[in-house]
Amino acid sequence: MAVFQGAGVALITPFHADGSVNYEKLAELLEEQIAGGTDAIIACGTTAEAATLSEEEHSEVIRYCVRVVNHRIPVIAGTGSNCTATAVKLSREAEAAGADGLLLVTPYYNKATQDGLFRHFAQIAESVRIPCILYNVPSRTGMTILPETMARLYHEVENIVGVKDATGNIAMSSALMALVDERFELFSGNDDEIVPLLSIGGSGVISVLSNIAPRQTHEICQRWFDGDIAGARREQLRALPLIRALFSEVNPIPVKAAANLMGMEVGSLRLPLTDMEEKNREVLEKEMKKYGIL
């Protein structure tokens, strides 16, 4: 039940000046990603500002992405919520729309015990038939799926197939990989840790960097899979200064600024996110030029 291998883009959501979703621009971004070699589209994740999309917008963006991509590469829909019932509703709608898989973030704000996490994710996954990737990002949610809980979910719930790991804790990631088998899909949730997680059996990355450098991000993974370990390492290290600039402010503030610097015209952000501070934008522009994408 593998979803994809390689570099999936955590796609930004473009907005018009009035704050509404710019679907025409979204179609352009999707075509550019496919042409750039991206291995999967992740719609309505953190980078998409999903927290500020209404439920209606959320489902419509997913439907639109599925329709435009039209089976050329997988579309994974971000349908997680801190309300289990809401996540079930969004997940069923994404499945009905034709999404190839789901990305389910840990419940934020109200949090949960490890048993609560198990029951939350199990109930969502069992409400659909398509594969589910869990999203472990404690820096944004205040919750960590412990390796034992993740392994239990994988072994006991048939369509839970892996995790987007943004813990930044390689020891914890390694402990998880020791509890699962080779079919488990481990995706780096941090662009600066693609190669380290590939080295412990990872399947790729769900990437912010791919929004502005899809070919290069794909290449980091592809070199690894082709056995060019030195090449993968070289490309990972070459990207680090740009990656640091892309996370100099809270995601997706910098990546939207970067996209606009490249002429993509993706618009601004919805509050409470604001435009990038000038001093940080200047560093970002400098690193984009050094990386060769501007």
Q: List active site positions.
A: 135, 164
Contact partners, residue 238, CB within 8 Å, separation at least 6: 291
The token pair that represents 276 in the structure block: 């990038």
The token pair that represents 83 in the structure block: 């309300």
Nearest to 121 by CA among 91, 76, 77, 165: 91
Long-range contacts of 21-29 (CB under 8 A, 24+ apart): 21/53, 21/57, 21/60, 21/61, 22/266, 22/267, 23/64, 25/264, 25/265, 25/266, 25/267, 26/61, 26/64, 26/65, 26/68, 27/64, 27/68, 28/264, 29/211, 29/264, 29/266
What SS3 state is found at 180?
A: coil
Q: How far apart are CA 23 and CA 176, in angstroms?
A: 39
Helix (H) or strand (E) holding 194: helix 194-198
Q: How much is the CA Rg of the chain, to the nearest whole Å?
A: 18
208-237: burial string, b at 16+ Cβ within 10 Å, e else: bbbbbbbebbbbbbbbbeeeeeeebbebbe
Contact partners, residue 112, CB within 8 Å, separation at least 6: 106, 120, 143
| Phi and psi at residue 136, to the nearest 5° | -100, 100
